Amino acid sequence: MTITIADVDRWDPGAVLEVFHAATSRGNAAQNASDGLNGLPAFTTWDGKAAEASQAAIGKVRADLDAHGQESFAVAKAAQNAADEIAAVKKTLADLRANAQAMKCVIDESGDVRPLVTTGPEADTYAIDAGLLRLAVKGMLERADAVDADLAAVIDMASGKKPIPPGLHDSRPEIRDALSKPLPTDPRQFHDLWVKLTAEEKDYLYSKDHTIGNRDGMPFVDRDHYNRAHLTELQSQAQKRLDDMAKEHPSWVGKESFVDTHPHNRGNHKERWDFEHWKDRYNAEKSKLDGLNQVLSTVNKNDGNHRYLGMVDDKGHAAVSIGNPDTARDNVTFVPGTGVDETRMDNYDNKMLRIQQSALSADRSLHPGDVAVTTWMGYDRPMSLADAAHRSYATDSAAALDSFQDGVRISHEGPRSFNSIIGHSYGSTMVGAAASGDHHLDVDRVVAIGSPGMLVHHAADLHIDAPDQVYASRADNDIIEYAEGTTLGPGPTGSADFGAHRFDSAPGPNTGWSWMGLPSVDAHSSYFDPGSAGLLNMGQLVTNHQPDHHK
């Protein structure tokens, strides 16, 4: 049935709230009865088979009462939502009538809007106003139709004609209250709620929000579980979008230029523009799919090291951990820099494996599970040298890295872990942003390698647990030296005034004729070379030791 203006006028949110109050009372009564059975003193003193039988019977009754109470609370919540929606629709109608009066129009019971002024110089203006109001009334009535369907469902549930849908029907009042609100964004509050939830409740929350595995404070086992499920969905969605674009212009797929599509003529300007626009969209979607595929390939590596997918979305963000950060003694977060996208996740995962192996070599008392290393691509990395001159890539995502590190600390089990963070290239700028301004980065040690600048003038300006635990290194032939002290602040190795502890890295290859000794891009990536001084020193640093070689 289509709802009319007259129907909306007759609606009474107070009457629906009576269903809410009745269902709430019924739920509380069932809950109190269940609690009362549990507290009967006689049954706590019984022994033997009679006690077992009575406890089993009471357990079943309590389970039935709890289920009834949970269903009642579900009806109550649905009724409250319906009452709120009814009140909102009625307010919208009242506002539309006030606007109609001001515009010299009238809304009739069918929802039609007629201008009261139909002649004279302003008649056209009032006719236009009436048309706009007519669209607004139509939208309000469509919303009213949806509310009517929800209200009918509430009545059917309350009368037993319709089953209660699966959902969050927890018998614990504090959990019911928490789940009736938006989930906490604070990592500590989220963690404290999450660990109290049942498996069914966690699955239900995932069904409502498939990005829930990205919530900081969630244990990494759960993050991995839900993010792997979401990753599969993201891949399917990206593949479908790519297939749909290919169907738009099958002959364009695989063509690199417009000339390739028109070998015998150059076509007109519109055709050329259409191709270039389509090609840009197609390449962007293919790059996104390639990145997601690479993330899946990385977390599914069969090299004896379990990997945890701590973050994934459809915007090019991901985090992959080798080892479980929640149980590791030493936790390392690595932040890559300019030009790194998800298609290079495997490359950086291999670098992190070297970091882990270097850490295990630095402290022979450690086992592989004692060191977890995470590649964090949770920000929009600058993809060109020109982009890398801007601070905004770091400052815009400072809160994200700050929150991620809070989550690593909060979800950790057992004794406090030693948490360090390594920023390479612009990744060190990202670390600086997350540890300055209004942010505090929950890490025990900061390591900057090949850094162009960290957005602060001194190491002591970084807000970390121990301000004297800032270490930095730059390969002698690293071309990054030309970027130090420009738009991103002084380089942490450029001057002793910065205050970072400097450690050795191999010089890296130079460029040009050997006698010229010019810096190179290759040297900028040499910090992870097997057996190199920088890699060995980072292994010492992330296990709470001092590097073997200082500068």
**Average pLDDT of the residues in 249-272:** 63
Q: How far apart are CA 437 and CA 402, in angstroms?
A: 11
Please answer whether residues 375 and 336 qualify as being in contact, where contact means their C-beta atoms are separated by less than 8 angstroms: yes
Please give the span between the terminal C-alpha atoms of the chain, in angstroms, as a whole number: 80
Task: Pick left, alpha or beta for residue 459 (phi over 0 → left; psi -120 to 50 → alpha; otherwise beta).
Answer: alpha
How many CB atoms sit inside 10 A of residue 346's CB? 16
Q: Give the Å distances, CA to CA, from 345 to 166, 268, 340.
A: 38, 41, 8
**Dist. CA 479–CA 452, nearest whole Å:** 10
Whether residue 441 lies inside any domain: the answer is: yes
Q: Is 445 helix (H, G, I), strand (E, B) or coil?
A: strand
Tell me, yes or no, whether 172 and 38 share the same domain: yes
Q: Tokens 């001194």 correspond to what residue?
A: 458
Cα separation values, 386 from 100, 339, 389, 484, Å: 54, 11, 6, 14
What pLDDT was estimated at residue 26? Answer: 65
Establish if 518 belongs to a structural domain: yes
How many angstroms separate the CA atoms of 441 and 408, rounded? 11
Tokens of 350: 């291999």
Tell me what pLDDT residue 13 has: 81
The answer to whether the CB of 486 falls within 8 A of the CB of 453 is yes
**Cβ atoms of residues 308 and 230 within 8 Å:** no
pLDDT score of 69: 58
- In a domain, residue 108? The reply is yes
Joined together, the tokens standing for residue 148 give: 């009517």
Residue 252 inside a domain? The answer is no
CA distance 458 to 444: 17
Residue type, 520: S
Q: Is residue 453, in this structure, part of any structural domain at all?
A: yes
Report how far residue 284's alpha carbon sits from residue 265's, in angstroms, rounded to the nearest whole number: 27
Tell me the percentage of the chain whose pLDDT exceeds 90: 53
Contact 154, 145 (CB under 8 A): no
CB 249 within 8 A of CB 282: no
- Looking at the structure, do residues 373 and 511 belong to the same domain, yes or no? yes
Within-domain flag for 253: no
What is the model's pLDDT at position 98? 92
Q: Which of 161, 181, 201 is the last residue of a domain?
A: 181
Answer with the one of 165, 181, 197 that is the final residue of a domain.
Answer: 181
**28: its two tokens:** 């509380």
Alpha carbon of residue 372 to chain centroid: 21
Does residue 203 form part of some domain? no
User: What's the confidence (pLDDT) of residue 11?
Assistant: 83
291: tokens are: 């990145």
What is the band of 158 on the pLDDT scale with cuts at 50, 70, 90?
A: low
Q: 189: which 2 tokens?
A: 């509050």
End residue of a domain, out of 124, 152, 181: 181
- DSSP characters over 343-403: GGHHHHHHHHHHHHHHHHHH-TT--GGGEEEEEEE-S----STTGGG-SHHHHTTHHHHHH
Nearest to 470 by CA among 506, 433, 526, 432: 432
DSSP string, 85-154: HHHHHHHHHHHHHHHHHHTTEEE-TTS-EEES--SSTTHHHHHHHHHHHHHHHHHHHHHHHHHHHHHHHH
* C-alpha span between 457 and 455 (Å, rounded): 7
The band of 22, judged by pLDDT with boundaries at 50, 70 and 90, is confident
Q: Assign 460 a pLDDT band (cuts: 50, 70, 90).
A: very high
Of 61-75, 132-146, 164-178, 499-513, the poorest mean pLDDT is in 61-75
Tokens 């920088």 belong to 534
Structure tokens at 62: 């309590």
Cα 534 from Cα 505, distance rounded (Å): 4
Output the domain CATH number for residue 451: 3.40.50
Please compute the mean of the pLDDT values over residues 142-148 and round it to a whole number.
Answer: 85
CA 470 to chain centre: 28
The three-state secondary structure class of 471 is strand
Q: How many CB atoms lie within 10 A of CB 455?
A: 24
C-beta separation of 454 from 430 below 8 A: no
pLDDT digits (tens, 9 = 90+) for 35-86: 665 555 544 555 555 556 555 655 555 555 555 556 666 666 677 777 888 8
**Over the stretch 307-358, which tens digit does the pLDDT of each residue have?**
999 999 999 999 999 999 999 999 999 999 999 999 999 999 999 999 999 9
- Amino acid letter for position 282: Y
Find the domain containing 341 and state its range.
301-541
* Residue 406: half-sphere exposure toward Cβ, Cα within 13 Å: 20
Say if 360 falls within a structural domain.
yes
What confidence score (pLDDT) does residue 528 get? 95
Distance between CA atoms of residues 106 and 122, nearest Å: 16
**What is the pLDDT at residue 6?**
87
In contact, 169 and 73? CB cutoff 8 Å:
yes
The dihedral through the CA atoms of 380, 381, 387, 392 has a sign that is positive
Mean pLDDT (whole number) for 375-384:
94
Count CB neighbours of 50 within 10 A.
Answer: 9
How confident is the prediction for the chain on average, in pLDDT?
A: 85
Position 263 pLDDT exceeds 80 = no
**Tokens 């109001």, residue?**
133
Whether the pLDDT of residue 172 is over 80: the answer is: no
**3-class DSSP assignment, residue 414:** coil
Contact 544, 469 (CB under 8 A): no
SS3 438: coil
Domain count of the chain? 2
Digit-coded pLDDT (tens) for 219-233: 999 999 999 999 999
CB neighbour list of residue 112: distance below 8 Å, 6 or more residues apart: 134
